[in-house]
Amino acid sequence: MKLFSAPGYLIANSRSEVKLVYTGFLAFAAIGLATMAMLEVGRIGFSVEGVATHFRGGDYAGEMRFPRPFGELVELTHFHAFIMGTVYLVIGHLFVATVTPAWLRWSVLVGTLAALLLDVAAVWLVRYVAAGFAGLLLASWLGEWVGFTAMIAVTLLQMWRPAPPFDDEVD
């Protein structure tokens, strides 16, 4: 990890075995993110009504759903805060070590972080404030999918190509 603090460090300059480890992590992260999307869409439903009834209770597509209890939301928040924070930290570090325009790096990093924070907050808002916040949760899911996919794809593509010259403020 010390390498990440070196000015001008690029992931493309890593040794082959380091690239293999990073590639393995990113492959598992991509699988995890894909299954997360399948669970969200398949189990909850990718609609405002699906999300609202999943957390607040009600009838959805002929299925009776019960409101999520407080303790379940605490468990969900606890797990998501730790695991998604860790995944963001690692993937974000790998992404920062690419030659990507500064504006794009910042946009992807800030957008993904915002989506993750909204994901954690929106479940509480949907359950205890108003069903209308379900749209915010759906938007956060899209932000996570787009942000993490961009970071993983750019990192993998740049990691295995020869490293170009480094310029921290590439535009």
Exposed, middle or buried, 117 (CB in 10 Å: 0-12/13-18/19+)? middle
Per-residue model confidence as pLDDT tens digits over 43-100: 888 999 999 998 999 988 788 889 999 999 999 999 999 999 999 999 999 999 999 9
Beta carbons within 8 Å of 159's beta carbon, 6+ residues apart: 11, 12, 14, 19, 22, 23, 94, 98
| Structural contact between residues 32 and 86, judged by C-beta atoms closer than 8 angstroms | no
DSSP 9-36: --GGGS-HHHHHHHHHHHHHHHHHHHHH
Angle, CA 119 vertex, CA 113 and CA 121 arms, to 5°: 105
Question: pTM of this prediction?
Answer: 0.85
Residue 140 is predicted with a pLDDT of 96
Token readout for 126 is 């949907």
**What integer best gives the mean pLDDT of the chain?**
90
**For residue 99, which of 26, 170, 160 has the smallest C-alpha distance?**
170
**Does the pLDDT of residue 36 top 70, yes or no?**
yes
